C-alpha cells in the first residue's frame, strides 16, 4: 500500500512516480505542469503550429492536439517538422476518442497519447442491462483485445499515456454496474490501468474530469485513495471540463483544481476555457504558483494538534454541516438557510455620503434582487457610535432586508460598563468582534449578555497565529455565549484558510457546538489572486459543507459581491443565474464557439437555475454535457443538433436558425421566462 491518505488539515504532496512526456517530467518530484489544447484543425499545419508557438510563449509546457481521424494522425509529422523548423520544443499529446486506428497511427509521432476509457473500445448506446460477473469479465477481455495493441506499441516507443475518464462519457457497462457515481468513474479508469499493468507498462497519467467542481474534488480524492490501496502511484492530471468563459469559467476551474492542489493532489493541470487557449495559461500558472513555490522552498508545516481529531466528515460525499440559525436583523444565518453574501463597505463612518452611494451600489433598487448584498459591514470605533446608529436607521428605512454588521476590536468592548455595551449592541444588527487568544475569556460574559438583551448576534473573528490556540479561544467564547454566536478565523500569512477552518469545524463538532461559520477571506492582504484564491479556498470549504455566510474583502465591493455569488454558484450551494457548460473548443469544432456561446448567453442568461450546454462537436459533446437541461451541439458544417437532457430532439438545424430554435425548445418545456427590464447593474 502507498503511504498516502487524505488529510484536509495539511499540505502534503501525494507521492507520484516520475513519468516523462518528451523532455518534460511530471510527478511529485517535479513542479505542477501547465498544459493546454489547440483549437485549429489538426490538418491545418500553419494555424496549429502558430497557436502552439503562442501557447509556449505564454508558458504552456505540454500541448494536446485532437486526432479524431487517420487524416489528422497522418498530419502530425508535418506539425512536428514545422515546429522543429521554428525552433519550438514542446511535448505533443494526441487526444483520442472512439478511434483506435487513429490512435495506433498517432502514437508514432507524439510524446503522449490520451485515451478515454468510456469510448475507446465502446460505443455509447445508453443501453440498460444487468451484467453477471462472468459477462462483465468477458466485456473486460473484449476491451483488452482492443486496447492492448496500443499499450504494447506505447511501451515499445517509450510514449506515455493518459487514461482520461470524463464524467459524461462513462461506458454503458460502467453505468449499469456502478451508475453515474464517483465509484464508477474511478473504476472506469482503473480497468484500463490494470490492462496496462498486465503488460508491465507504467508510463501512465490519470485524469477523471467533470464539469461539476464538487464532483471533481470528490472523485480525485476517491481515486487517490483507491490507488493507494492498490499500491499505484501514477501522476494525476487535473481539470474541470467545459468550465465556460470569463469570470465564471475561472471561478469554476479554481474551485475544482485549486482545492485539490491544496491537498497535494495533482501533477499537471489544464484550465478549460471557452476562449483563446492562450488565455488559459496565466490562470493555470496562477493556480499552480503557490504549490510550485512550496516545491522549491518547502511548504508550511502542518497544524500542530494538541490531540487527535475525530473527523466525521466524508471527503467523498457532500453533506452540509449542521448548525443552529442565528439572526442578524432580518437575515437568518445557518441551519437550512441559504449561504449569505456579506460585503465590506469601503467608506468610513465619517463619510455618510460615500456609505449611501455604496449601499445603493450593493443592495439598491438597481441591483437584481437575487444578487444583492444581504449583510453589509463597516469598521467601527467607540468615537463613531452616533454615526453607526445613524447608518443602522438609514438601512432600516431604505433597505429593511439588509443587515448591518459593525466590525470592532475586542478592546472597544471588554471591560466597559453595561450601558456602553448595550449601546454598542443596539447600534448594529451584528457585532463583528475581532479577538485574539491573548484577550482571554474572563471578561466576555457581559458582552454576550448585552447582545442577547438587544437581540444582536456576535460574530467572533479569532486571529490565528497558533491555530489550535485560536480554535480553543473560539470554542471557549462560544461556550460562554451558549453557542449563540457565529465564528470565523483569520489564518496567519502562511496558513491555508482551508486547514484552519476545517479544524475549527471539527473541533466545534467534537465540543457539541453548532455555531454557524462565516468564511472570511482578504486575498489582497495575503498577496493572493483576488478571484482565483477565494474561489479555490472558500469554494472548497463550501463543497465540504462548511460555511453559512461568506465575505471576500477586495478594493472594489461590487467586484467582491460578483465574485462571491460566482463562487456560490460554482459550488452549487446557491444558484442565482443560468449555468453554462461550454467546451473550450478544439480541432473538431465546426463553428466559432466563443461567439456562439456569447450569443446564447445574451438570449438565455436570465433563466436562473437552467443548465445550458454549448458543445463544439457531436464526437464528444453529448457525453460531456453532464447534467445540462438543454444542449446546443455542433453536428456538421453549419449544422447544429439540439438536446433535451441527453436526448437529441433535433439535428441538421441550420446555424442561422439554431439560437431561436433553442429558445423555442426551452419554451416548449415550460422553462422560459421573459427577461426582466434592464437595470444598470452587471450580469
Tell whether 533 and 480 lie within a shared domain. yes
- pLDDT, mean of residues 10-16: 93
- pLDDT, mean of residues 273-290: 95
How many whole angstroms separate alpha carbon 203 and alpha carbon 93? 14
> What are the two backbone dihedrals, phi and then psi, of residue 495, each rounded to the nearest 5 degrees?
-105, 135
Predicted local distance difference test score (pLDDT) of residue 624: 66
Q: What cell was used for 608?
A: 436562473
Q: Is residue 383 part of a domain?
A: yes
Residue 328: CA count within 13 A, CB half-sphere: 29
- pLDDT, mean of residues 70-79: 97
- β-strands 549-552, 340-344 pairing: parallel
Q: What cell was used for 146?
A: 482492443
Contacts for 464 with CB less than 8 Å, ≥ 6 apart: 470, 489, 490, 491, 492, 495, 500
* Angle of the 213-229 helix axis to the 182-198 helix axis, nearest 10: 40
Percent of the chain with pLDDT over 70: 94
Predicted local distance difference test score (pLDDT) of residue 56: 98
- pLDDT, mean of residues 413-423: 90
Tell whether 79 and 196 lie within a shared domain. yes
Q: What cell was used for 96?
A: 483520442
- β-strands 268-269, 325-328 pairing: unpaired
Top mean pLDDT of 84-88, 139-143, 636-640, 662-666 is at 84-88
Judge whether 126 and 646 are in contact, CB under 8 Å.
Answer: yes
Res. 86: pLDDT tops 80: yes
- pLDDT, mean of residues 96-124: 89
How many whole angstroms separate alpha carbon 281 and alpha carbon 121? 32
Tell whether 396 and 278 lie within a shared domain. no
Per-residue pLDDT band at 681 (split at 50, 70, 90): very low
CATH number at residue 96: 3.20.20.20
Predicted local distance difference test score (pLDDT) of residue 590: 62
pLDDT digit string (tens) for 546-580?
999 999 999 899 999 999 999 999 999 999 988 88
How many whole angstroms separate alpha carbon 46 and alpha carbon 62? 19
Give the helix ranges, DSSP H, for 158-267.
172-178, 182-198, 213-229, 246-253, 259-262
Tell whether 239 and 359 lie within a shared domain. no
pLDDT digit string (tens) for 592-624?
778 888 899 899 998 988 989 888 776 556 666
For residue 649, with 0-12 CB atoms within 10 Å meaning exposed, 13-18 middle and 19 or more buried, which class applies?
middle
For 46-85, give the secondary structure using H, E and C.
HHHHHHHHHHHHHCCCEEEEECCCHHHHHCHHHHHHHHHH
Q: 301 versus 374: which is more confidently predicted?
A: 374
Q: 678 versus 383: which is more confidently predicted?
A: 383
Q: What cell was used for 435?
A: 479577538
How many whole angstroms separate alpha carbon 28 and alpha carbon 236? 10
Tell whether 247 and 339 lie within a shared domain. no
Contacts for 162 with CB less than 8 Å, ≥ 6 apart: 93, 112, 113, 114, 115, 204, 205, 206, 207, 237
- pLDDT, mean of residues 32-54: 97
Q: Is residue 561 part of a domain?
A: no
Tell whether 73 and 190 lie within a shared domain. yes
Quote the pTM value.
0.91
Judge whether 131 and 101 are in contact, CB under 8 Å.
Answer: no
Q: 523 versus 126: which is more confidently predicted?
A: 523
Residue-wise DSSP of 635-667 = EETTEEEEEETTEEEEEEEEHHHHHHHHHHHHH
Res. 583: pLDDT tops 80: no
- pLDDT, mean of residues 291-302: 90
Q: Is residue 224 part of a domain?
A: yes
Tell whether 112 and 245 lie within a shared domain. yes
pLDDT digit string (tens) for 133-188?
888 899 899 999 999 999 999 999 999 999 998 877 777 788 888 887 889 899 99
- CA nearest 103: which of 142, 131, 73, 145? 73
Q: Is residue 371 part of a domain?
A: no
Give the helix ranges, DSSP H, for 511-556.
532-543
Tell whether 118 and 257 lie within a shared domain. yes
Q: Is residue 6 part of a domain?
A: no
Q: Is residue 237 part of a domain?
A: yes
Q: Is residue 151 part of a domain?
A: yes
Contacts for 141 with CB less than 8 Å, ≥ 6 apart: none
Predicted local distance difference test score (pLDDT) of residue 589: 65
Tell whether 235 and 175 lie within a shared domain. yes
Predicted local distance difference test score (pLDDT) of residue 124: 58
461 SS3 class: strand
pLDDT digit string (tens) for 185-220?
999 999 999 999 999 999 999 999 888 899 999 999
Percent of the chain with pLDDT over 90: 69
Predicted local distance difference test score (pLDDT) of residue 493: 64
Q: Is residue 604 part of a domain?
A: yes
For residue 596, with 0-12 CB atoms within 10 Å meaning exposed, 13-18 middle and 19 or more buried, which class applies?
buried
Q: How many domains does the chain have?
A: 3
Predicted local distance difference test score (pLDDT) of residue 3: 58
The mean pLDDT value of the chain amounts to 91
Tell whether 413 and 457 lie within a shared domain. yes
pLDDT digit string (tens) for 341-384?
999 999 999 999 999 999 999 999 999 999 999 999 999 988 88
Predicted local distance difference test score (pLDDT) of residue 683: 41
User: What stretches of 380-531 adopt beta strand conformation (E)?
Assistant: 403-409, 430-435, 457-463, 486-490, 518-521
Res. 246: pLDDT tops 90: no
- CA nearest 499: which of 4, 11, 5? 11
- Name the DSSP letter for residue 236: B
Predicted local distance difference test score (pLDDT) of residue 173: 82
Tell whether 253 and 329 lie within a shared domain. no
* Angle of the 246-253 helix axis to the 280-297 helix axis, nearest 10: 30
**Any idea what the Cα angle at residue 327 is, between residues 322 and 330, rounded to 5°?**
130
Q: Which of 554, 588, 607 is the last residue of a domain?
A: 554
Question: Could you list the residue range(s) of the whole structural domain that residue 656 is in?
Answer: 579-668
Tell whether 178 and 292 lie within a shared domain. yes
**Any idea what the Cα angle at residue 260 is, between residues 624 and 241, rounded to 5°?**
15
Per-residue pLDDT band at 448 (split at 50, 70, 90): very high
Amino acid at each position: 500500500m502507498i503511504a498516502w491518505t487524505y488529510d484536509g488539515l495539511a499540505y502534503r504532496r501525494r507521492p507520484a512516480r516520475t513519468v516523462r512526456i518528451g523532455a518534460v517530467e511530471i510527478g511529485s518530484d517535479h513542479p505542477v505542469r501547465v498544459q493546454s489544447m489547440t483549437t485549429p484543425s489538426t490538418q491545418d499545419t500553419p494555424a496549429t503550429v502558430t497557436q502552439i508557438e503562442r501557447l509556449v510563449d505564454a508558458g504552456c509546457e505540454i500541448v494536446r492536439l485532437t486526432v479524431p481521424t487517420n487524416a489528422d494522425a497522418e498530419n502530425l509529422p508535418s506539425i512536428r517538422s514545422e515546429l522543429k523548423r521554428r525552433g519550438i520544443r514542446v511535448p505533443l499529446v494526441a487526444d483520442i476518442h472512439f478511434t483506435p486506428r487513429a490512435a495506433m497511427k498517432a502514437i508514432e509521432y507524439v510524446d503522449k497519447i490520451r485515451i478515454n476509457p468510456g469510448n475507446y473500445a465502446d460505443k455509447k448506446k445508453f443501453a440498460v442491462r444487468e451484467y453477471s460477473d462472468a459477462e462483465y469479465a468477458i466485456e473486460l477481455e473484449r476491451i483488452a483485445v482492443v486496447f492492448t495493441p496500443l499499450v504494447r506499441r506505447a511501451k515499445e516507443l517509450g510514449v506515455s499515456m493518459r487514461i482520461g475518464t470524463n464524467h459524461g462519457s462513462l461506458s454503458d457497462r460502467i453505468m449499469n454496474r456502478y451508475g453515474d457515481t464517483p465509484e464508477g468513474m474511478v473504476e472506469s479508469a482503473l480497468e484500463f490501468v490494470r490492462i496496462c499493468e498486465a503488460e508491465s507498462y507504467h508510463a501512465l497519467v490519470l485524469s477523471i474530469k467533470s464539469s461539476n467542481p464538487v464532483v471533481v474534488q470528490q472523485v480525485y480524492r476517491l481515486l487517490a485513495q483507491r490507488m493507494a490501496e492498490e499500491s499505484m502511484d501514477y501522476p494525476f492530471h487535473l481539470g474541470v471540463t467545459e468550465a465556460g468563459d470569463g469570470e465564471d469559467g475561472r471561478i469554476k476551474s479554481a474551485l475544482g483544481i485549486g482545492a485539490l492542489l491544496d491537498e497535494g493532489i495533482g501533477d499537471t493541470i489544464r484550465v478549460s476555457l471557452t476562449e483563446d487557449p492562450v488565455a488559459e495559461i496565466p490562470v493555470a500558472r496562477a493556480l499552480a504558483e503557490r504549490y510550485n513555490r512550496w516545491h522549491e522552498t518547502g511548504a508550511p508545516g502542518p497544524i500542530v494538534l494538541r490531540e487527535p481529531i475525530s473527523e466525521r466528515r466524508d471527503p467523498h460525499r457532500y453533506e452540509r454541516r449542521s448548525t443552529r440559525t442565528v439572526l442578524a436583523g432580518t437575515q437568518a444565518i445557518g441551519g437550512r438557510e441559504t449561504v449569505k453574501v456579506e460585503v465590506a463597505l469601503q467608506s468610513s463612518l465619517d463619510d455618510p455620503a460615500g456609505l449611501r452611494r455604496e449601499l445603493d451600489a450593493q443592495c439598491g433598487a438597481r441591483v437584481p434582487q437575487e444578487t444583492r448584498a444581504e449583510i453589509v459591514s463597516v469598521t467601527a470605533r467607540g468615537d463613531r457610535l452616533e454615526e453607526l446608529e445613524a447608518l443602522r436607521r438609514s438601512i432600516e428605512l431604505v433597505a429593511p432586508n439588509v443587515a448591518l454588521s459593525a466590525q470592532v476590536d475586542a478592546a472597544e468592548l471588554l471591560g466597559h460598563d453595561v450601558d456602553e455595551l448595550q449601546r454598542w449592541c443596539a447600534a448594529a444588527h451584528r457585532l463583528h468582534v475581532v479577538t485574539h487568544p491573548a484577550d482571554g475569556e474572563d471578561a466576555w460574559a457581559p458582552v454576550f449578555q448585552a447582545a442577547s438583551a438587544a437581540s444582536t448576534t456576535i460574530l467572533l473573528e479569532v486571529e490565528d497565529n497558533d491555530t489550535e490556540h485560536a480554535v480553543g479561544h473560539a470554542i471557549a467564547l462560544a461556550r460562554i455565549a451558549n453557542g449563540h454566536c457565529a465564528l470565523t478565523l483569520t489564518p496567519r500569512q502562511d496558513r491555508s484558510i482551508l486547514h484552519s477552518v476545517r479544524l475549527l469545524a471539527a473541533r466545534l463538532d467534537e465540543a457539541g457546538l453548532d455555531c454557524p461559520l462565516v468564511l472570511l477571506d482578504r486575498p489582497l492582504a495575503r498577496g493572493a489572486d483576488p478571484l482565483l484564491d477565494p474561489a479555490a479556498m472558500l469554494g472548497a470549504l463550501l463543497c465540504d459543507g462548511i460555511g453559512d455566510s461568506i465575505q471576500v474583502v477586495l478594493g472594489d465591493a461590487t467586484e467582491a459581491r460578483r465574485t462571491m455569488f460566482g463562487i456560490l454558484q460554482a459550488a452549487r450551494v446557491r444558484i442565482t443565474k443560468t449555468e453554462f457548460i461550454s467546451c473550450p473548443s478544439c480541432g473538431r469544432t465546426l463553428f466559432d464557439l466563443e461567439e456562439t456561446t456569447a450569443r446564447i448567453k445574451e438570449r438565455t442568461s436570465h433563466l436562473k437555475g437552467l443548465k445550458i450546454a454549448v458543445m463544439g462537436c457531436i464526437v464528444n459533446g453529448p457525453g460531456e454535457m453532464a447534467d445540462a437541461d438543454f444542449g446546443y451541439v455542433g453536428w456538421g458544417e453549419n449544422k447544429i443538433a439540439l438536446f433535451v437532457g441527453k436526448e437529441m430532439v433535433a439535428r441538421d438545424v441550420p446555424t442561422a436558425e439554431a439560437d431561436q430554435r433553442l429558445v423555442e425548445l426551452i419554451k416548449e418545456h415550460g422553462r422560459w421566462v421573459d427577461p426582466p427590464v434592464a437595470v444598470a447593474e452587471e450580469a
